[in-house]
Structure 1
Amino acid sequence: MAEPGLSVRLSQAGQIPLDLQLTCAPGEVLGVVGPSGAGKTTLLRSIAGLYSAKAGRIAVGDQVWFDSTRKISLPAHRRAVGLVFQEHALFPHLSALANVALAMGHHPSGERADRARDLLRRVHLDGLEARKPHALSGGQRQRVAIARALARDPKVLLLDEPFSAVDRRTRTRLHAEIAELRQDLAIPMLLVTHDIEEVTRLSDRIALLDQGCVKLVGSPAEVLADPVGRELIWGEAPVRPVHGDSEAS
């Protein structure tokens, strides 16, 4: 029987090296952190079907999305993935309601408006359904982007620096709303961020990447206390014993 949740194993050499393995359980938020160029966005793109590694396997429950050995590689539109990026990428000529409904092609057309209204209500945008993106604040636009991601009925939700373009007060409110939403979403959620406070607040576990490899996986407290974690996240050099001191003792 397949393991529930998301399982990822990717490997390749070359310009974009990968050698990683991780899992994320239903209802879990896995924070993904690491230096620039560590492979964080490549990981998300691989899960979403926007990039194919040379070798590996990606599965959600009993659904295999990618398996290099079996020559399986589902295109992005066949993977039930919700994506939220730093740039909300909403259609400027469409209302909030229409932006969300557009992601519901898998539902009958007569049901889409009501479903979209319900999702906008869940992200606290009641009454703003008719507004176009230019008439919404940055935080409101990102809420529409979250609702649109959920409109795909995703089996995995991928958040790539989703709050970095909004001010700190708005970011704090969005953190609270994501924490609220996750209570109702029994799906794996991956959060890529450079904000350590954010990843500590929202994540159950953290995966620390460097040069395409997972260096550490653990609770936020465990990763941030580890010398490897401190070095890669904050640039703190690990304390190493001086050779002469060990002899003197």
Structure 2
Amino acid sequence: MIMNTATGLICILACFYQAMGLKVTGYVGQSVVLKTRVDPSSVHLSRIQWSIYTNTSIIVVWDSGDLKEPFWRHKGRLTLNISTGDLQIKNLRVDDSLTYTVSLLTETTDQTEIQFELVVQEHLSKPDIAVLFNSLVKDTCIIALRCSIAEAGITLSWAPPDGFDQPFWNSNNTNNSSELWTSIKPHTNISFTCNASDSNRKASSQKVVQCQEEEPKASPQFLRHRYGIIFALLFFCITILLFKVHAPPKAILHGGEKREAVTP
């Protein structure tokens, strides 16, 4: 009776996964587990075989206590759970995106196959945040930020810090970028977060914005003094130059006698 129940469970699992076309997503450099959903308390496996490609290239097989990894492609990156048939693939690569087939065998059942479609993706890059505008206007700092990302089809959204009570406006995600406009109080540092996501991946970046006060303007009196100093220095330099040009020629000593230099 127990074996018949086990047979029924495996058949149900196989039919379910084949009907759903089970798709599993993994990320480069990480690990993923292809789960058979077999309950080891009611199903006792005697043989487990995982393969890839249509020509059934076996990557790992367990048969009555004997474990082998005959195919070089995943060598050293596989961990097989002999109780459930689950397969862990470590250090994922983009070319691991394949169809994986597991064949499960119990003591009383024929071989049952379940297929998994593994898709390995690159990590989503973090979005870039640039400051478009930052200026103090009438005791209020007006801030404008732009969040952008190189990849297409990515949704961008803004998140102000907790407790931020100022109104803000953000544009729709167009051309892989989104803008945020808001105001903050002077002498404060506020961190804004831009979130990027698609159906499977997420990434975020933060930007700390500090209110930039206007540079102090010089007073008219200071400007008059500055221009006066520049004019005086210029007049002094011109006077020295004219003095050197029109100075009388110096006497030249020759043979112990003083003679005037003759200008040709």
Give TM-score, length-normalised by structure 2: 0.23
> Which structure is higher in strand share?
2
> Which structure is higher in helix share?
1
| Higher RCO (CA 8 Å, separation ≥ 6 residues) | 1
Whichever of the two has the greater Rg, that structure is 2
